[in-house]
Chains A and B, each alone.
Chain A
Amino acid sequence: MPKKALIQGALSTGVIFALSSWMGAMVSVLVLAAAWAVIVTASAAAARKAVEYEVALLTQRLASTRQQAQEIVGEYRAELGAQFHACGNELVQLQQILGDAISTLLSSFNALNDCSATQQRLAVSITRGEAKPGDEQVSVEQFIQETSATLASFVESTVQNSKTAMGLVERIDQAKEQVQVVLRLLREVEGISKQTNMLALNAAIEAARAGEAGRGFAVVAEEVRVLSDRTNQFSQQIRSEIEAVHGSISGAESAINEMASKDMNFALHSKQRAVEMQSGVRKVNEGIAVGVDELGRIARQVEDNVRIAVTALQFQDVTTQLVGHTRARMTELESMMAGLATLPDALELSAGGNAHGQAVLQKMRERVVAARERTSRNPVREGQMDKGGIELF
């Protein structure tokens, strides 16, 4: 160590000079002082050299640390940047998948709704048996009504026929009575003819008694008898014809009676059937009315569900906005990472009092605030899907 050697030399020199003389002591004090100054200067120089050595070492370490920091920050920046970028891409993918799916769902929904509406219309029109304009189609109801009307008019007509038949039978009875009258008259005629015959016989007898004078009278009596016979013959003929007529009339009468009674039974039976069928139709109509009501109710339910679905399907737009907001956050993160990468250099410069370095650090602080502000407003709030208010200004 040079220090020790110098001190030893100085001390021995001082002892020699102090022993020699008082003047020499003064000089020696001066020399001592000078020597001490030299020592101090020398040790200061040595200290400075030591400090310089330490500084050089620290600077070396600092440089190495800075380099490592820069490397690591650079690696983090690269990796995080890649990750954020990938996140952004995946969010875009998500938006696309949602968008496509919703578009398909909506078209499908519209089609379903149209089908349901068409089904409803068709079902109602079929159950009511409504004829389409321009069609020859006849509804069941129409058919039954017309058939009933036709039957009723048939029954009415049959009843009328029966009445007519009764009238006919009455007239036939009248005719039969008249026939009886004629027969009675014929009997009178026959009676008269018999008596005439008797008279003629008597006249002939008297004529024979009168002899020659009664011969003319006998001829007349004979003619009268012949006439009376002819009258009788005619009367017999008329009688048999009248009896034949009577037979025909009776036959007609029983045929009419038979026909009238058969028609009446058939008409009454048909009327009964018609009443039963109408009651059956009424029941069917009631059933149809209930069915139509039910169909209407179901159609309204479908409408309600479509309304609910249309409201819910809007989630795609809401999620798209939410995803957009998340992507904005990631853009800020990427930019903040980029800023962080400049930190090591900025710190070094700023430590050296460099204005540019200070500015960079300030910028980094400002960037944090800016990022927070830019992502502070989420266009979608909590419970967005639960309510959609309406306000007219």
Chain B
Amino acid sequence: MSKTILAVDDSPSIRQMVAFTLKGAGYNVLEAEDGQAGLDKAKSSAVNLVLTDQNMPKMDGLTLVKSLRVLPQYATTPILMLTTESSDAMKAQGKAAGATGWLVKPFDPAKLLEVVKKVIG
């Protein structure tokens, strides 16, 4: 059974590139264009890993992380931030909110695959 990854980002090109990279490696990929849509999708489908942007309309990344961690089925699911933000302050906020890791854009597809494999196999 191939694992399912949820990609949340308001940029369609980023979603396209993430899907291209991960589908090519055999993962199933779901997409959402903002935090709220991401939360809804996570509730309605079983997801093994969440990859989310920070700056999005309706609900930002950190809020999404916090909302997911409250749900029992996502208490320990790996959640990775994928964002242009790179300040230590933001990273600390991410860690405090419950994120598993922090990836700074632009991402190298090979490295993204490495991290995903490491985290969910």
- Mark each residue of chain A from 286 to 319: 1 if its CB lies under 8 Å from any CB of chain B, else 0: 0000000000000000000001001111111110
Could you tell me if B101 and A102 are in contact, using CB atoms closer than 8 angstroms? no
Residues of B close to A164: CB separation below 8 A: none
Residue of B nearest to A315 (CB): B106
Residue of B nearest to A316 (CB): B13
Say yes or no: A314-B14 contact (C-beta < 8 A), given A307-B110, A379-B55, A391-B91. yes
Closest CB in chain A relative to B76 CB, distance in Å: 13
Residues of B close to A393: CB separation below 8 A: 94-95, 99-102
Could you tell me if B107 and A314 are in contact, using CB atoms closer than 8 angstroms? yes
Could you tell me if B85 and A379 are in contact, using CB atoms closer than 8 angstroms? yes
Say yes or no: A388-B105 contact (C-beta < 8 A), given A317-B13, A318-B84, A393-B100. yes
Residues of B close to A317: CB separation below 8 A: 9, 11, 13-14, 84, 105
A335 vs B104: C-alpha distance in the bound complex, in angstroms? 33
A379 vs B23: C-alpha distance in the bound complex, in angstroms? 29
- Mark each residue of chain B from 4 to 17: 1 if its CB lies under 8 Å from any CB of chain A, else 0: 00000101111011
Could you tell me if B109 and A316 are in contact, using CB atoms closer than 8 angstroms? no
Q: How many residue-residue contacts, CB under 8 A, span A and B?
A: 89
Residues of B close to A315: CB separation below 8 A: 106
The listed residue (B21, B108, B118) touching A388 by CB distance below 8 A is B108
The listed residue (B17, B99, B101) touching A310 by CB distance below 8 A is B17
In the assembled complex, B20 has its CB within 8 A of some CB on chain A: yes
Could you tell me if A318 and B102 are in contact, using CB atoms closer than 8 angstroms? no
In the assembled complex, A142 has its CB within 8 A of some CB on chain B: no
Could you tell me if A307 and B108 are in contact, using CB atoms closer than 8 angstroms? yes
Could you tell me if A311 and B106 are in contact, using CB atoms closer than 8 angstroms? yes
Closest CB in chain B relative to A386 CB, distance in Å: 9
Could you tell me if A99 and B17 are in contact, using CB atoms closer than 8 angstroms? no
Could you tell me if B55 and A388 are in contact, using CB atoms closer than 8 angstroms? no
Residues of B close to A389: CB separation below 8 A: 86, 102-104
- Mark each residue of chain A from 372 to 391: 1 if its CB lies under 8 Å from any CB of chain B, else 0: 00000001110011011111
Residues of A close to B20: CB separation below 8 A: 106, 110, 310
The listed residue (A110, A314, A379, A381) touching B106 by CB distance below 8 A is A314
In the assembled complex, B115 has its CB within 8 A of some CB on chain A: yes
Closest CB in chain B relative to A70 CB, distance in Å: 39
Could you tell me if A314 and B13 are in contact, using CB atoms closer than 8 angstroms? yes
Could you tell me if A311 and B84 are in contact, using CB atoms closer than 8 angstroms? no
Residues of A close to B55: CB separation below 8 A: 321, 379
In the assembled complex, B111 has its CB within 8 A of some CB on chain A: yes
Could you tell me if A311 and B13 are in contact, using CB atoms closer than 8 angstroms? no
In the assembled complex, A153 has its CB within 8 A of some CB on chain B: no
In the assembled complex, A236 has its CB within 8 A of some CB on chain B: no
Could you tell me if A103 and B13 are in contact, using CB atoms closer than 8 angstroms? yes
In the assembled complex, A320 has its CB within 8 A of some CB on chain B: yes
Would you mind naming 21 contact pairs between A and B with Cβ atoms under 8 Å apart?
A103-B12, A106-B16, A106-B20, A307-B110, A310-B20, A312-B106, A314-B13, A317-B11, A317-B14, A318-B105, A318-B106, A320-B11, A381-B84, A384-B106, A388-B103, A389-B86, A389-B103, A390-B103, A390-B115, A392-B118, A393-B102
List A residues at the B interface (Cβ < 8 Å).
99, 102-103, 106, 110, 307, 310-318, 320-321, 379-381, 384-385, 387-393
List B residues at the A interface (Cβ < 8 Å).
9, 11-14, 16-17, 20-21, 55, 84-86, 91, 94-95, 99-111, 115, 118-119
- A-B contact sample (18 more), CB < 8 A, given A311-B106, A391-B101, A392-B101: A103-B12, A103-B13, A307-B110, A310-B20, A310-B109, A313-B13, A314-B17, A315-B106, A318-B105, A321-B84, A379-B55, A380-B84, A381-B84, A384-B84, A389-B103, A391-B102, A392-B119, A393-B94
Query: What 8 pairs between A and B have smallest CB-CB spacing?
Result: A314-B106, A317-B11, A392-B101, A388-B104, A102-B13, A393-B95, A391-B102, A389-B104
